[in-house]
Amino acid sequence: MPAKTKLRIARPVTDISATQDQWTRGFGFTTLYSFNDHDGFDGVMIGHKDYDWHFEFTVCRTHAVKPSATEEDLVVLYFPSKTEWEAAVAQAESAGFKRVKSFNPYWDVDGVTLEDRDGYRVVIQNAEWSL
């Protein structure tokens, strides 16, 4: 697989507009693309234009698809700088992300686990990722 392969994390949500607002305000993402009634789906893609990854949030018009995240379905964002990490946590919480105890205690040592309006979890980790 090429190193520059694009990654999309696609998730059903209960309210596109509310999710879009929460994630753009919470993480400083921008709306990259949106669509209406594409084969029965409405959606929005958010992220940063220079990143090789983004989120897609969708709602199905023909039947409700209930978001079904588990406590271990995580997106982890790494912030090596303590100052930037603290600012990222504060920004996400001000957008309505709720701080929750992580199912895996590892994430609570140097990070904060947050949950969005549909139960999707994001860990904001104060660490360098050097795999």
Residue appearing with tokens 């957008």: 95
pLDDT of 37-96, one tens digit each?
999 999 999 999 999 999 999 999 998 888 999 999 999 999 999 999 999 999 999 999
Q: What is the rounded CA–CA span in Å between residue 60 and residue 79?
A: 34
Instruction: Give percent of the chain above pLDDT 90.
Output: 92
Q: And the tokens for 80?
A: 């090596």
Q: Is the pTM of this model over 0.95?
A: no
Residue 7 has pLDDT above 80, yes or no: yes
Q: What is the rounded CA–CA span in Å between residue 121 and residue 113?
A: 7
What spatial distance separates the first Cα and last Cα of the chain, rounded to whole Å? 18
Structural domains for the chain: 7-60 (3.10.180.10), 74-125 (3.10.180.10)
Query: 16-27 and 82-94 helices cross at what angle (nearest 10)?
Result: 160
H or E stretch including 99?
strand 98-100
